[in-house]
Chain A
Amino acid sequence: MVNESPLFWPVKFVETAGKPSLHVLDETQLPQKLHYIRVKNTKQAVMVIRQMKTRAFGQFLVVLNTFLLELNKMGTHDDVGARSPMPLQRRIEETAAALNASRPTFPFSEVTSIVVGWAKQALAQNLNLKSFLEKNIQGFLMGIRMKRLKRVEQIVDVIKKGNSVLTHCNVSGELAMASQICKEQNKDVHFFATETRPYFQGAKLTCWELQRAGAKVTLVADNAVGSLMADGLIDCVIIGSDRSCANGDVANKIGSYQIALSAKEFGIPLYVLTQPSNKIPTGEDIPIELRDPNELLFYEGKKIVSGKVKGFYPGFDVVPHELIAGQLAVDPSGR
């Protein structure tokens, strides 16, 4: 029996007294509080994405569920869609545009274009736009869920008995769920989690969910990875990814490149959880988000060094495909 981590599916569509909203797990409150933020419209959805209240897969869920939110605000199935499809289609397109512009490195347009495509298909075939979109989005989400559950088994397969596994940032529940299966299989696995400055997702999220899953986990500083590898303390590395390229390069949380390169140097296999896409040719073509340096220079309102110091905060690294031993894929396009 595997318990699902709250990070595996951190966004819920909720309807209370006829009013729809999204409940988005506020990952910035973990590990202290398991708190969900209520999102009522596209503007608020864009804010939770920009402010990194949820990350990676959670942002993908926010994007798809925001369409459901907007569709529900339009009324019942019978009186909307078939009767006045054009305003609804416009709203879908506006929602897509707002979500696409929320963070540059994320391939949201690859997902929103699917929804916009369904809207066009419904119009062309004179279908009820609202119910057609709802059914497609819900089916799409169900498919992704099943594929991710399948991928948990793939993660279990690459972890061998007695392995020490290094991970970076957070892979949204899948590693924690895999750890439970490894435990059932008596694999005696140990996890090392990097703290992942400046947001500490490794310390706050990965340690929390692995500990919750009953796994053995040790926190290390981002700069200790080379030492761990050189000392033979790591058998494999498993990380997530936020974007994939046609040539197999991926983008993932800042810090991933130096981990991948160190793993290659010390002969340690690196496995990446990916969402294959051929929309971008190579990692060089991925636009990398530069975030506000104050997110690095301050922590909870306190400056970390005194004086007039600048900061530089790229949000993501590119990991070239030649550094990756294996990609564990979930294809969001449904292929």
Chain B
Amino acid sequence: MRRLNVLVCAGAACVSSQSQETRDALRVEVERQGLAEEVQIVETGCMGPCELGPVLVVYPDGAFYVRVKPADAAEIVSEHFLKGRPVRRLLWEDPQARRIVEQKKQIPFFEKQLKVVLSNCGAIDPENLDEYIAVGGYEALGRVLTERSPAEAVAEIEASGLRGRGGAGFPTGLKWRLVAQEKRTPKYVVCNGDEGDPGAFMDRSLLEGDPHAILEGMAIAAYAVGAEKGYIYVRAEYPLAISRLRVAIEQARRAGLLGTRILETDFSFDVELRIGAGAFVCGEETALIASIEGRRGIPRTRPPYPAARGVFDQPTLINNVETWGNIRHIALRGAAWFRTMGTATSPGTKVFALSGKVRNTGLVEVPMGTTLRELVFDIGGGIPDGKACKAVQTGGPSGGCIPEHLLDTPIDYESLKALGTIMGSGGVIVMDEDNCMVNIARYFLEFTCDESCGTCVPCRAGTRQMLEILDRIVEGRAEAADVERLRSLGETIRRTSLCGLGQAAPNPVLSTMEHFADEYRAHIEEGRCPARVCRSLLRYEIDPSTCRACDRCRQACPVEAITGQPGKGSYVVNADACIRCGRCRDVCPFGAVAVTSGREA
């Protein structure tokens, strides 16, 4: 037994801000100061507050260090580990109360969360099977295999009311039953880890932080539906998740938790990893199946659904990473327990990736039914720099924007759908008054337009046309009729496209047109971008009364659009030459450069 346990976050965000160098520095210091026998340093999965990384927690006291650099290692070891005095300058400080918080559990970011799926993320070493087993891992699989029939295992999931966490919210238990009822063998179970929404990193974090939980969930399902083979499809952009999955699969095989006669029962199951080649559309289940089979990753029409005809035309059960992460908990603690969390129609918790204009960006898990306001303000800590929240985007390129005045909406599948957006896989992008909603809509549409597979006409050619119109709007070349054109094209694409990607592609545009119609009008009718984002609609001017003719702006201007004599009178921006890069405003020490938008009267 060691005296201190130090958990260093090794999620991708912390790794990219040098958490591994920090860990190495800590190890060296612990060794040097003779504490190797007393202090254990463990790498864990994502703890959540990515913005504060690298983060680490010291147990048993629970001190939570943020933004730790390798150079801080010596001080932490000599002061905290040796003398028992936490290094206060590195502890988390409440930005509003200006108060240092001593313990991780007192931090509001963690206080309001309910970690079920993420319970192991940030608590155990994801590359150590013993740690996973020590916190109850593979107990659910053991119990299901020895105490329950496959039908009972399916019934438990059905009774739990769990719905697909990939975004659409299809009842998971029903999916399981449909596959279980299929007579044809072999059957397959598939983990969809092709997380591609901009701003979403739930699946990555879960795969990196608790890979065995996914394997266990898949093994339980395989037993329940009668499959012997599973595929995990992960995008190549997630190298850390891939390497940890490889380690976990190998460990599970060696421990007899994957392979033939698992836990000495008659049940055999093994998993193969498939690496995606980068197409967003492969997150669509039929495209994902095509990609697993080694074909071009394009969707096909449904029915037949994968439950009847999936991988290699055989019955296939496909669930999203987070859905798989829920399975072992339900199998172990029961459907009734699961239903104590969340709402009647959307039980359980949901993992979200908070990003954008919010103080605490990162990975969070809350019960369904939590309001967006709680998510953004209580857990997310609100909007930085004293700005006001304008909207929250959910569901990525398939979702929509929810205006600030509707943030008290509880998060569940139906409520979000009623607002013209979707739950989606869990990306939540917060926007403040500096975000232009037309520009945001254009961004997402450009994304789907690029990612359209090109098979069906409405998605391939229709999104292209919508993008053209949005280009005109943000560049001030649009006319009033363009709004109706957008709506009509959007309707056509939504109703006639082949797959979910196309059908949902117009959502970001249609939802912003509904909730932020005034911003569209300002762009089209007044040539004005209210958030001053759309470059073509901006004008840079130097206020003669504030300008001191210091010459800085002229030197900074990359296109020589500013003229003037040092020390003499005021400088002038030549609007025709100006590319609205904003450098003059950034360098002006007197705040003399003003940005305006809108046609001159």
Do they bind each other?
A: no
